[in-house]
């Protein structure tokens, strides 16, 4: 465990790597497949990949299971709201709102409920990151047209679920005494609600198009699993709010993917937002 209110450099870079992986699997949701099916495919792939790990780690201790159950329920809401948001808008419009609002909410919960200590520099850095996110969310969207209310509502709901499962999993990973067992159990259990709901909603014939995207789905599942596994471990050795904030550098990676791979436009507002986000990270790291 790092000294109170700090994050070791190794943990910092590990969470940065998790952020890049997270942006990668979110980009895969924008493949030429219905976002809900793509989300289900990634979620089930996570469970399949995690199952051998669960056989190795064993089950987490009994005290962790209420947190696993709560996390699975919250993640289900997250998957539904995020896939609906991506159905309605660009990744570069939705991703910053969904991911960027979350660390501010998480920081408030962490300070008030968990009493994780943070320095004034940490708080200022999180605030800077938040300003950058708000900027790109309000002015950095496609063609400078106002985002639809439905898309923004789905993105904000996604942000709320992110904050909720971050805090729940941070506590769960800590009480489990074995973060690897907690992570493996969470990913395996997490796959069932989405798969069952998808079969109920679309039927067997309705999910057949996903079979043509098994390789991207497995790649997305591997990236999603790796990204969040790192974050779970980091929350056991550093303040949850700091981990959540550094994790949201996925906004930068997501922006690069949106511009260079998805061919969405680069604007001065997006560039300014990226600069503010980087400044926030530097302040969190140095102060």
Q: Which tens digit of pLDDT belongs to each residue from 142-165?
A: 444 555 778 788 888 988 998 899
Spatial contact of 142 and 264, defined as CB atoms under 8 Å apart = yes
Q: What's the chain's average pLDDT? A: 82
Least confident stretch, 171-185, 226-240, 249-263: 249-263
Supply the pLDDT for residue 67: 97
111-115, 141-145, 213-217, 251-255: which is most confident: 213-217
Supply the pLDDT for residue 146: 54
Q: Where are the domains of the chain?
A: 9-286
Helix (H, G, I), strand (E, B) or coil at 236: coil
- In terms of DSSP H, where are the helices of the chain? 9-28, 35-57, 65-88, 91-109, 120-139, 149-176, 179-206, 214-234, 240-247, 250-260, 268-286
Residue 2: pLDDT over 70: no
13: left (phi over 0), alpha (psi -120 to 50) or beta: alpha
What is the rounded distance in angstroms from the CA atom of residue 221 to the CA atom of residue 179?
A: 19
The stretch 203-225 carries a mean pLDDT of 89
User: Is-above-0.75 flag for pTM?
Assistant: yes
Supply the pLDDT for residue 84: 84
Q: Which tens digit of pLDDT belongs to each residue from 39-94?
A: 899 999 999 999 999 999 999 999 999 999 999 999 999 988 888 887 777 766 67
The stretch 208-230 carries a mean pLDDT of 90
- Which is more confident, 258 or 211? 211
Supply the pLDDT for residue 107: 75
Buried b (16+ CB within 10 A) or exposed e, 240-255: bbbbbbbbbbbbbbbb
Is residue 138 very low, low, confident or very high in pLDDT (cuts 50, 70, 90)?
low
What is the rounded distance in angstroms from the CA atom of residue 168 to the CA atom of residue 189?
A: 15
């Amino acid at each position: 465990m790092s000294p109170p209110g700090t994050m070791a450099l190794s943990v910092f870079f590990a969470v940065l790597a998790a952020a890049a992986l997270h942006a990668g699997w979110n980009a895969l949701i924008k493949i030429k497949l219905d976002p809900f099916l793509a989300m289900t495919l990634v979620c089930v792939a996570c469970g399949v990949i995690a199952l051998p790990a669960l056989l190795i780690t064993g089950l987490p201790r009994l005290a962790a299971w209420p947190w696993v159950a709560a996390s699975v329920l919250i993640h289900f809401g997250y998957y539904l709201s995020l896939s609906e948001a991506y159905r309605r808008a660009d990744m570069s419009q939705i991703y910053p709102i969904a991911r960027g609002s979350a660390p501010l909410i998480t920081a408030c919960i962490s300070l008030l409920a968990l009493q994780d200590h943070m320095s004034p520099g940490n708080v200022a850095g999180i605030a800077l990151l938040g300003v950058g996110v708000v900027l790109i969310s309000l002015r950095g969207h496609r063609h400078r047209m106002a985002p639809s209310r439905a898309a923004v509502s789905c993105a904000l709901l996604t942000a709320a679920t992110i904050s909720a499962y971050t805090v729940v999993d941070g506590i769960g990973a800590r009480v489990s005494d074995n973060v690897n067992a907690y992570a493996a159990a969470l990913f395996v259990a997490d796959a069932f609600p989405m798969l069952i709901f998808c079969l109920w909603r679309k039927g067997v014939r309705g999910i057949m198009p996903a079979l043509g995207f098994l390789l991207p789905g497995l790649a997305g599942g591997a990236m999603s699993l790796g990204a969040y596994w790192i974050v779970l471990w980091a929350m056991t050795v550093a303040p949850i709010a700091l981990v959540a904030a550094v994790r949201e550098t996925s906004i930068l990676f997501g922006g690069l993917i949106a511009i260079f791979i998805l061919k969405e436009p680069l604007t001065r507002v997006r560039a300014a937002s990226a600069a503010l986000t980087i400044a926030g990270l530097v302040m969190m790291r140095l102060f």
